[in-house]
Chains A and B, each alone.
Chain A
Amino acid sequence: MSTIPFGTKRTRRWLPWASIAVPTIGWLVFGLFPSVSTVFFSFTEYSGFPGTPLHFCGLCNYHNAFNSSWTDFSTSVTVTLKYVAGVTILQITIGLGLALLLRHRRRGFGFYRALIFMPQVFSVTIVGVLFSLVFDPQNGPAEPMYHGLFGSTSAFLGDQTWALWLVIMINVWMFAGYTMLVYIAALRRIPPELYEAASLDGAGRFRTFRHITWPLLANATTVNVFLTAMGCVGEFALIRVLTDGHYGTKTLGMYMFDTAFGVNPSLGYGSMLAVAQFLITLVIGSVLLFFLRRREVTL
């Protein structure tokens, strides 16, 4: 521990503490405390209406999840897993594809990259309204295209079979630019000599990618997969705008939001769902890190 050079002998002891006091207290009150007390509230029955009592009930919410509310609960878990898997796989593939396409510094490429990154800065409200228009079953441009291709009609975001996949695609549309930029930054760090050596050895495009590019992108892949997957386990803002959790798009986060802030609020059960979401994040996160980092080591 080094000593602080500022202040007098007397103030030196508490000066660093004073420096961190306000942000730490703020973080404790509005960050850590709510976060930890989610676990506490998950053991209670509490509607959240002012004046109603908070009733401690042990594992009742957890019990309900596996009994009376099992259908809703298991469905939302399945939807969440599909959502996470769908977004992660698509976003990594598309992000990598775009990065390979736009990796070099050529004329116009900065503009293309900026356009692809652009949706990121929009609020989910804007993106939600935008795609509600595109997929509007009566007047949207997707309808005639779909009709031309398949000869039938679809309700798109109001269609049980399509809604979740459309939401996944819209999520990817919004955030693929980020994945792309992370990959471009990693691609730029690959030494060009490796490619020269590979082309001298007569390796084709595919083999160069398979044996040089992809393994050397392992770090970036870890970051991208981890950030994407972790970022979308709890995601529901976009779903709230696009489908409000109907038509098979009720993820755990959406279910939590509905339960806590919907018509018949139950903050206790909602907190349990937040805890469940946390556990899923934890499991997916550790599994991903374990496999992805092992892959890096075996290079």
Chain B
Amino acid sequence: MSLRLREMTRTGGLQLVCLVISVGFFALPLIYLALQAFKTNNEFLNDPTGLPHSWTMSNFSDAWTEGDFSSEMVNSLLYAIVPDVITLILGVFLAFPISRGWFKHSNALYGFFVFSGFLPAGLIPLFIEAQKIGTYNSRIGYLIMTSLTGAGFFFFVGYIKTIPREMDEAAALDGCGYIRYIFTMIIPQMKPALATFGIFGFVAGWNNLILPLVMLNDQSLWPVTRGLFSFFGQYSSQWPLVSAATIIVALPILAVFAILQRNLVEGVAGGAAAGSRGVNTAQPVENNE
């Protein structure tokens, strides 16, 4: 009996430690920020660390109108979804022939793509280039730039290899065209991989700050992250208003996270397994002669 009691206090203690760490360190700062959003500015200045007394909602509506977040939300959605979808589809089109070894030097090409990820950051030349070819300060231009930088297909190559070649041949014999085959067979087969990368791509696209900072000058083109950044600069002394704006910007991504957290967490664990294989063995792509 005393053994069970000790066991129980031990698990209880462990649970407590985990709860304190995860909630105390990782959730509490956000909760604290959220609480400020319900205070009036005077209330905040008088008692910054206390709970809100009146629970005012006006900060949210004020921030929403003054920060022009409604149009920025639309921009953000556009900047997150369009490049994400295009990158995934183009990634499959790129990975499919490479993984099948339909080129003379598909290994070399693959290696070259991987290698290029280690080259110097190209932000400055990209800025110069964008001004020359007209993608600077333009919504379409920004979408083109972010849709076509297309990394992230590396994992697809390995994934497509698990889809048997016999399927290609059977489909081709039955008269299925190349593009139709990719859309009706390969892409549905790759759903788990595409979902994982799609989620990460969406989050990355939504969260990007530096590229909008450099490439988008017009306020009407800004995504919410960029909008919040300048809102913060403008109203830095009015914490309740800034807190409300931050919560507005954080909520959509928090909702996405809450719905998809299981997939995200598993995606990282799975990707880690794939990644550790990649870094350690660094095997070249198999080439079936």
> Residues of A at under 8 Å CB distance from B?
1-7, 15-17, 19-20, 22-27, 29-41, 46, 48, 50, 98, 101-102, 106-119, 121-126, 128-134, 136, 138-141, 144, 173, 177-178, 181-182, 184-186, 189, 219-220, 222-223, 226-227, 234, 236-237, 240-241, 253, 256-257, 260-261, 267, 270-271, 274-275, 277-278, 281-282, 285, 289, 293, 296
- Closest-by-CB residue of B relative to A181 is B268
Q: A27-B113, A122-B207 are known contacts. Are A274 and B123 too (CB-CB below 8 A)? A: yes
What 8 additional pairs, Cβ within 8 angstroms, besides A4-B97, A121-B257, A125-B232?
A: A23-B94, A26-B90, A35-B122, A35-B125, A37-B122, A113-B22, A144-B49, A223-B272
Contact in complex: B121, A274 (CB < 8 Å): yes
Contact in complex: B123, A32 (CB < 8 Å): no
Q: A117-B261, A237-B209, A277-B120 are known contacts. Are A34 and B18 too (CB-CB below 8 A)? A: no
Contact in complex: A133, B276 (CB < 8 Å): no
Contact in complex: A132, B125 (CB < 8 Å): no
User: CB < 8 Å: which of A6, A29, A130 contacts B148?
Assistant: A29
Task: Count chain B CB atoms within 10 A of each CB in A38, A125, A223 and give the residue with the most.
Answer: A125
Separation of A48 and B273 alpha carbons in the complex (Å): 44
List CB contacts (< 8 Å) of B160-215 with chain A: 165, 168-169, 172-173, 176-178, 181, 203, 206-210, 213-214
- Closest-by-CB residue of B relative to A236 is B210
Asked if B8 lies at the interface with its beta carbon under 8 angstroms from chain A, I say no
Q: Which residues of B contact A182 (CB under 8 A)?
A: 268-269, 272, 275-276
Contact in complex: B276, A134 (CB < 8 Å): no
Asked if B91 lies at the interface with its beta carbon under 8 angstroms from chain A, I say yes
Q: Which residues of A contact B125 (CB under 8 A)?
A: 33-35, 37-38, 40-41, 271
Contact in complex: B276, A125 (CB < 8 Å): no
Chain B: interface secondary structure?
Answer: helix
Asked if B159 lies at the interface with its beta carbon under 8 angstroms from chain A, I say no
Contact in complex: A133, B153 (CB < 8 Å): no
Q: Which residues of B contact A271 (CB under 8 A)?
A: 124-125
Contact in complex: B243, A35 (CB < 8 Å): no
Q: Which residues of A contact B102 (CB under 8 A)?
A: 1-4, 16
Separation of A222 and B275 alpha carbons in the complex (Å): 10
Separation of A29 and B90 alpha carbons in the complex (Å): 15
- Closest-by-CB residue of A relative to B182 is A19
Minimum distance in angstroms from A261 CB to a CB of chain B: 6
Q: Which residues of A contact B253 (CB under 8 A)?
A: 121-123, 126
User: CB < 8 Å: which of A25, A26, A116, A181 contacts B272?
Assistant: A181
- Closest-by-CB residue of B relative to A275 is B120
Q: Can you list 23 A-B pairs with a CB-CB distance of less than 8 A?
A: A1-B104, A1-B106, A29-B129, A38-B122, A38-B124, A108-B19, A112-B18, A114-B261, A123-B206, A124-B225, A125-B228, A130-B30, A130-B33, A133-B36, A133-B239, A141-B49, A173-B26, A181-B268, A189-B273, A222-B279, A223-B279, A253-B121, A260-B127
Separation of A74 and B178 alpha carbons in the complex (Å): 55
Separation of A227 and B149 alpha carbons in the complex (Å): 21
Chain A: interface secondary structure?
Answer: helix
Minimum distance in angstroms from B135 CB to a CB of chain A: 9
Q: Which residues of A contact B232 (CB under 8 A)?
A: 125, 128-129, 132, 241
Contact in complex: B168, A6 (CB < 8 Å): yes
Number of A-B contacts (CB under 8 A): 306
Contact in complex: B96, A130 (CB < 8 Å): no
Contact in complex: B261, A139 (CB < 8 Å): no
Contact in complex: A1, B19 (CB < 8 Å): no
- Closest-by-CB residue of B relative to A27 is B150
Separation of A137 and B63 alpha carbons in the complex (Å): 23
Separation of A20 and B15 alpha carbons in the complex (Å): 51
Q: A30-B148, A129-B228 are known contacts. Are A278 and B121 too (CB-CB below 8 A)? A: yes
Minimum distance in angstroms from A174 CB to a CB of chain B: 10
Contact in complex: A123, B93 (CB < 8 Å): no
Contact in complex: B242, A260 (CB < 8 Å): no
Q: Which residues of B contact A20 (CB under 8 A)?
A: 93-94, 97-98, 109
Minimum distance in angstroms from A20 CB to a CB of chain B: 5
Contact in complex: A2, B239 (CB < 8 Å): no
Separation of A152 and B122 alpha carbons in the complex (Å): 45
Separation of A260 and B225 alpha carbons in the complex (Å): 21
Separation of A274 and B120 alpha carbons in the complex (Å): 6
Minimum distance in angstroms from B25 CB to a CB of chain A: 7
Q: A23-B91, A32-B119 are known contacts. Are A260 and B228 too (CB-CB below 8 A)? A: no
Contact in complex: A31, B149 (CB < 8 Å): yes
Contact in complex: B124, A274 (CB < 8 Å): yes
Q: Which residues of B contact A278 (CB under 8 A)?
A: 119-121
Minimum distance in angstroms from B186 CB to a CB of chain A: 11
- Closest-by-CB residue of A relative to B27 is A115
Contact in complex: B116, A19 (CB < 8 Å): no
Separation of A124 and B246 alpha carbons in the complex (Å): 11
Q: Which residues of B contact A281 (CB under 8 A)?
A: 118
Contact in complex: A121, B169 (CB < 8 Å): no
Contact in complex: A139, B19 (CB < 8 Å): no
Contact in complex: B121, A38 (CB < 8 Å): yes
